[in-house]
Amino acid sequence: MTTTERLREQLKHPGRLYRPVQIIHSYYPKTSVETAAYLDAAEENGLGGFVVNMDVSLPRLPEETDDAYKKRSLDAYLGEGTPETDAEWEHLRDFIDACFARGFEVWIYDERAYPSGAAGHKVLDGHPEDQVKGLICRTAVTGPGAGKMTADSGTLRFAAAYPVNENGVLDTSVRFEIEQNETDISWNLPDIYSSYRVCAFCARAINFHTENKVPYPDLMRADVVDRFIGVTHEAYLRHLGAERIAKITAFFTDEPGLPTHGCSSYFYEKDAVAAWTEEMDRLLPEDMPEHYVDIFFETTGEFCAYRRKYWQCAAKLFGENYFRRIAAWCESHGTRMTGHLYGEETLSMQIGLNADLFGLMRHMQMPGVDRLYTFDPRDVTAEKTASSAAHLYGRPFAMSESSFHLEYNWWKIPDEATQMNRMNSTYYQMQLGITHIASYYGYRPSPDPERLEFEECTARASVFCGTGTHSTDVLVLIPMNAAYERFAPPDHKYWDVGPCIVAPHQPETIRNLEKIYGNVLETLENDKFDFDLIDETGLMECSAKGGWIDTGYERFRLLVLFDSAEPEPETERWIWDYLDVGGRMTVVKTDIESKFVSLVMEKYPMQINRVPYTKISDACRENGASPLLRIAETCPEVRVRRTVTEDAELWFIHNRSKEISVTLCESGDYTIFSMDGTETAVKSDGNFRLTLPEKSARMLVRQKTEGDHEVR
């Protein structure tokens, strides 16, 4: 059977695996009669399945206080041994069995209200010392003479006063002692400099609470995460059994993160905070406390190097102790880890909230993102990070939690809750590599033609985009180390809520990098190049053969590098080897010119071009990369995803704007599938017109015939 024939059959009746699943938490039906009716409606509406979790809705006892009721409710989550909890586990088993019997997918949500990691309150119950911690910077700018400020309640790890240069940089070659007692930090500074910055660095538990209004745990510690797994995943294993767990599609983790301003609705710190845990003392240089100032402020010292080491350490601990451990548990029990983090759009959001988005996603069997608006998605960083991590490791699925959540317009964009906008958001994400939707759209278990259309069309897009191997020429190296060197933890929220490529309240240096990075990604998409992202660790896992970069699953002919920081030594050696075998590289200018880029350009001038971000597409063409589909018109509103099979090329074409007709400058015999499952055959001698309705998608297949050149 050819690819076209196989798709023809699959697109008529896409299976449940490809359809959006509905997040319902513990609001599943509790009786067999209710369950049958509920699943009848789900079948009629075309749902793929459900995301559920065990929880108990307890009646209020007479004269019970709010605190007592809250404690009893939290105890009942994942609880056992009481009539209420035992009955709830039975209801959950019955519902899951009914879903499996009728072919629905089931996912498990791993928390009682986000962010994941607290297990309601059970992880910290009896272990208050394991509350999430941070490195606090309490600071003041002052002149010569005596002064004081209120001391922090944490353990003072280092304190000093530094002269402030005219440009605001701290002169760390000179420092003056300050003192702290139980209540105050005090100083008496000499009349040598006109301005000083006083800095006191404390490590302590951070006042960061979950949506349950309980303290959040330290997820950078292995023992704390093991306790989380023990009270969540192991509880599901005990009560559902290994056979059911192996049939569960995935365990969904929701916004686990690090403490920083803006990380939660319930974050109460006033000073600047950086992620911290005790083990960092063992992994970081012994003199790191003397360089805490470099993490928070630009100094005359080697602040870039210390910032990089600090955040690399935080990323390592969070990735290995939370994501790797949970993913390993899921894999050992025949299921997957999925979900999403908080802070996905910009590099500085990624650092402050999770330390390393791509690095954490590499552990997940189904990397995921959060898309809570559906009118005008335009940032591509989150979806491309998730799908690229999946591509790098040959994982077939990438997930998005999607909804009309924010139609009340926090994000200052018109977020109209229409079917067209919902479908536009879905096609937007599928073109960027998302394959599965976890839906938070409002749902009632009653016939809904729009919901059926959403499920059917999304499933067809998922089937089509998941057929074959993603194929593009361009591999983009994420400038994460450069971002580490530029990021400064603030004492305030530093991004606007919503889609953006620049965190507006960060220092200018990282905002410049974010602007260049985000615009490069968007421009490549708009100009039909597409790309995958990769980090330095991932690049080290690739081979360079005949000028191609081979991940084991995909091949690329061009590496895009941002000239913004010196790569790690291992990365430098890899790039030298890649260029030695004929590799090509496009270097994007930033406000820094690195020594490494100058050296390689001097040796390989014919294989490297260095351009401003506005010229990225031209530079890619000059270096041998080609757009995925040749379209005569300039139409940035039309984006393309390309996959290949042994016998065909497939293009998913998404129009993000008004209806448009485009001329495809391609030859061959094509089958055009519409999202309703209908198809049209086209024979082209090099130009044919394709009409794309407003906010729509088309699926284009060119079947390889005998005598054709090998499909790239």
pLDDT digits (tens, 9 = 90+) for 625-650: 999 999 999 999 999 999 999 999 99
DSSP class of 255: -
**Which secondary structure element, helix H or strand E, spans residue 200, and what is its range?**
strand 196-205
Query: What CATH number should be reported for the domain holding residue 42?
Result: 3.20.20.80
Q: Last residue of some domain: 466, 488, 504?
A: 466
pLDDT at 498: 62
Cis, peptide link before residue 115, omega less than 30° from 0: yes
Please determine, for residue 711, whether its predicted confidence score (pLDDT) is greater than 50: no
Q: Last residue of some domain: 431, 466, 501?
A: 466
416 Cβ neighbours under 8 A, 6+ residues apart: 375, 407
pLDDT at 375: 73
Interatomic CA distance for residues 415 and 374, integer angstroms: 6
Interatomic CA distance for residues 156 and 443, integer angstroms: 51
140 Cβ neighbours under 8 A, 6+ residues apart: 147, 149, 197, 198
DSSP class of 386: H
**Three-state DSSP class for 7?**
helix
Judging by DSSP bridges, how do beta strands 399-402 and 179-180 pair with one another?
Answer: unpaired
Interatomic CA distance for residues 300 and 387, integer angstroms: 40
Q: Are residues 416 and 562 in the same domain?
A: no
Q: Are residues 199 and 227 in the same domain?
A: no
In a domain? residue 631 = no
Interatomic CA distance for residues 119 and 113, integer angstroms: 9
Q: Last residue of some domain: 448, 466, 484?
A: 466
pLDDT digits (tens, 9 = 90+) for 352-379: 999 999 999 999 999 999 988 777 777 8
pLDDT band (50, 70, 90) for residue 215: very high
AA letter at 213: K
Both structure tokens of 596:
């490494």
Judging by DSSP bridges, how do beta strands 543-545 and 548-550 pair with one another?
Answer: antiparallel
Q: How far is CA 12 from the centre of its chain?
A: 32
AA letter at 220: M
Query: What CATH number should be reported for the domain holding residue 699?
Result: 2.60.40.1180
CB 510 within 8 A of CB 486: yes
Q: How many domains does the chain have?
A: 4
Q: Which domain holds residue 690?
A: 638-703
Task: Give the range among 261-265, 572-576, 663-667 with minimum mean pLDDT.
Answer: 261-265
pLDDT band (50, 70, 90) for residue 343: confident
In a domain? residue 119 = yes
Nearest alpha-carbon partner for 152 in 201, 196, 207, 208: 201
pLDDT digits (tens, 9 = 90+) for 160-203: 999 999 999 999 999 998 998 889 999 999 999 999 999 999 99
Q: Nearest 5 degrees, angle CA 167-CA 309-CA 202?
A: 75
CB 366 within 8 A of CB 390: yes
Mean pLDDT of the region 237-266: 95
Interatomic CA distance for residues 398 and 384, integer angstroms: 10
Q: Are residues 532 and 566 in the same domain?
A: yes
Interatomic CA distance for residues 434 and 388, integer angstroms: 10
In a domain? residue 143 = yes
Interatomic CA distance for residues 342 and 335, integer angstroms: 23
pLDDT band (50, 70, 90) for residue 497: low
**Three-state DSSP class for 370?**
strand
Q: Are residues 486 and 426 in the same domain?
A: no
CB 119 within 8 A of CB 79: no
CB 517 within 8 A of CB 560: no
Mean pLDDT of the region 262-285: 94
pLDDT at 364: 98
Q: Report, in angstroms and rounded to the nearest whole number, the Rg of the chain calculated over CA atoms.
A: 27
Mean pLDDT of the region 656-670: 95
pLDDT at 379: 87
**DSSP string of 256-304?**
-----TTS-SEE---SEEEE--TTHHHHS-TTGGGGHHHHHS-BSS-HH
Instruction: Name the H helices within 146-299.
Output: 222-231, 233-240, 242-247, 280-283, 292-296
Q: Are residues 84 and 158 in the same domain?
A: no
Between helix 449-465 and helix 419-431 the angle, nearest 10°, is 10
Q: Are residues 58 and 144 in the same domain?
A: no
**Three-state DSSP class for 564?**
coil
Interatomic CA distance for residues 214 and 75, integer angstroms: 13
Q: What HEC string does 521-560 produce?
A: HHHHHHCCCCCEEECHHHHHCCEEECCEEECCCCEECEEE
End-to-end CA distance of the chain: 21
Nearest alpha-carbon partner for 355 in 521, 149, 535: 535
In a domain? residue 710 = no
pLDDT at 407: 47
Q: How far is CA 149 from the centre of its chain?
A: 39
In a domain? residue 2 = no
In a domain? residue 353 = yes
Q: Are residues 347 and 460 in the same domain?
A: yes
Q: Are residues 366 and 416 in the same domain?
A: yes
Q: Are residues 447 and 507 in the same domain?
A: no
Please determine, for residue 134, whether its predicted confidence score (pLDDT) is greater than 60: yes
Task: Give the range among 185-199, 410-424, 440-454, 676-690 with minimum mean pLDDT.
Answer: 410-424
Q: What HEC string does 312-354 produce?
A: HHHHHHHHHHHHHHHHHHHHHCCCCEEEECCCCCCHHHHHHHH
Q: Are residues 71 and 197 in the same domain?
A: no
Mean pLDDT of the region 39-59: 97
Q: Are residues 252 and 401 in the same domain?
A: yes
Nearest alpha-carbon partner for 252 in 21, 526, 482, 48: 21
Both structure tokens of 357:
């988005």
The size of the chain, in residues, is: 712
Q: How many CB atoms lie within 10 A of CB 442?
A: 11
pLDDT digits (tens, 9 = 90+) for 90-132: 999 999 999 999 999 999 999 999 999 999 999 999 999 999 9
**Three-state DSSP class for 589?**
strand
CB 600 within 8 A of CB 567: no
In a domain? residue 286 = no
Q: Are residues 612 and 646 in the same domain?
A: no
Mean pLDDT of the region 1-23: 96
In a domain? residue 628 = no
**Which secondary structure element, helix H or strand E, spans residue 638, and what is its range?**
strand 638-644
pLDDT at 309: 97
**Three-state DSSP class for 236?**
helix
Interatomic CA distance for residues 663 and 630, integer angstroms: 8
Please determine, for residue 409, whether its predicted confidence score (pLDDT) is greater than 60: no
